[in-house]
Amino acid sequence: MEFAILTGPILVLTFMIVQASLVWYAHSVALGAATQGANSARLYGSSPAVGNAEANRFLDQIGPALTDVNVTTRIAGNRVEVVVTGRAQSVLPWLTFRVRQTASGPVERWIP
């Protein structure tokens, strides 16, 4: 009888821990992709397309940590910014957790 009473709350707690872990992992992967994209796009003579390609390559290598991924790279003046958005994997299909991570840095430039 005690086992039947405790099974429900234990299962709910287990699913909550697994879901929190998946969301944390998705944030980490999105930040890694944004950082890789920013590092590539900030190189001397690089372009936003290079940042997008590098961030997407990183996400392809990692696997399905994020779904509905969108990578945006902007170079404004002497700064580059890469934004990675997507959805974390979900244990329950009707729950969605949006993930958004940004990485930025100065564009390398040649100063004689």
Return d(Cα 38, Cα 2) in angstroms, integer: 54
pLDDT value for 37: 97
Return d(Cα 26, Cα 89) in angstroms, integer: 8
pLDDT value for 106: 96
pLDDT value for 103: 97
Contact 52, 92 (CB under 8 A): no
CA 81 to chain centre: 14
Mean pLDDT of 20-33: 96
pTM given for the model: 0.88
Residue boundaries of the structural domains of the chain: 2-106
User: What region does 21 belong to: left with phi over 0, alpha with psi -120 to 50, or beta?
Assistant: alpha
**Average pLDDT of every residue of the chain:** 93
Percentage of the residues of the chain whose pLDDT score is greater than 70: 100
pLDDT tens for 50-92 read 999 999 999 999 989 999 999 999 999 899 999 999 999 999 8
Residue type, 92: L
Confidence of residue 109 (pLDDT cuts 50, 70, 90): confident
